[in-house]
Amino acid sequence: MSKITGPFVAVVTPFDAEERMNEAALRRQVARQAAAGNGVFCAGTNGEFYALSVDEKRRAAELCVEAADGRVPVLAHIGEISTHQTIALGREIARLGVKAVSAITPSFIACSQEELVGYYRRVADALTVPLYLYNIPARTGNTLTPEAARTLADHPNIVGIKDSAGSQDSLDGFLAVARERDDFDVMVGPDSLILHGLRNGAAGCVSGLGNVAPLTLNRIWTAFMAGENEAAEAAQAHFGQLRKELYALGFPPSMVKRALCHAMPEVGHSRGPVLIDGEADRAIATLAARYAEAADGSQE
């Protein structure tokens, strides 16, 4: 497999007024990211995987691969609570042409590191498509340690980790593992740490905020790769300020989607039980107007 690098956006899953998937709008979001030069990560946290049925997850991946049409790579999230469910979904998604898949640690069940290692080994054994580990302990209640990742990196079908723990210490621990070998990569999850991760060996990132500001996200990557340090720092600072202001208003994926909805109403609202009160919504609308980047990839 060719190495996966660069910026990816964890695209939102658009819904209509009846909370049904809006397939045409999803295709347009993929095209928008491709135009900005960003890869696509579908049915992840910002894609509301927790609110999607298995059929919807499969369809979302299918639509994203079709809409990308080879212009940019597509990654798909397959994580479920049980090993059996994750393998079943992974096998279905693998047939659709995604470049790789990623699975969060199981949620609800309190897992030991031994159980997490066993979980990922079984999933990787069962799939032909490459697998990324996905660490997001604030949402799952289970933390994958760098030591466990080091063990799992020996598996030939485990190619890296998406770390969304939210701390520099966590990210640095996985980056240390990646620097030990050339067959295990780190994809940065926290939007505030993208440039830090790239400077310390990350292969790329998977961003939620890239839904709102895809050009700024891509600029962090392109400026870094070109050695334009001041431009990379300026783009990261702009991105970081958006993150600080938007995420202060509520659950980050819901804030991202509502901000995008203000700029592009066809993406719709988050599925219930998410509610955003009027005061927060007005603040989100103000931020969306200030940071919005157009659907065609131009700066508004």
What's the helix, strand, coil split of the chain in %, to 5? 50, 15, 35
Cis, peptide link before residue 156, omega less than 30° from 0: no
Of the residues 57, 162, 257, 291, only one is catalytic, namely 162
Q: Which of 119, 120, 132, 134 is catalytic?
A: 134
Give the type of residue at 245: E
| Number of CB atoms found within 10 A of residue 191's CB | 27
Question: What crossing angle do the helices spanning 252-263 and 229-247 adopt, rounded to 10°?
Answer: 100
Helix (H, G, I), strand (E, B) or coil at 295: coil
Rounded to the nearest 10 degrees, the angle between the axes of helix 113-126 and helix 83-94 is: 30
Whether 57 is a known active-site residue: answer no
Q: What number of other Cβ atoms are within 10 A of residue 274's Cβ?
A: 15
Q: Distance between terminal CA atoms of the chain?
A: 38
Annotated binding site for pyruvate: 206
- Phi and psi at residue 161, to the nearest 5°: -140, 140
Place of tokens 């891509």: 218
Cβ–Cβ under 8 Å, residues 100 and 6: no
Give the residue ranges of the annotated binding site: 206
Q: Name the β-bridge partners of 207.
A: 9
Number of H helices, E strands in the chain: 12, 8
With H, G, I as helix, E, B as strand and everything else as coil, classify residue 291. Answer: helix
The residue type of 119 is Y
Question: 227 is written with which tokens?
Answer: 């050695």
Q: Which positions are annotated as active-site residues?
A: 134, 162
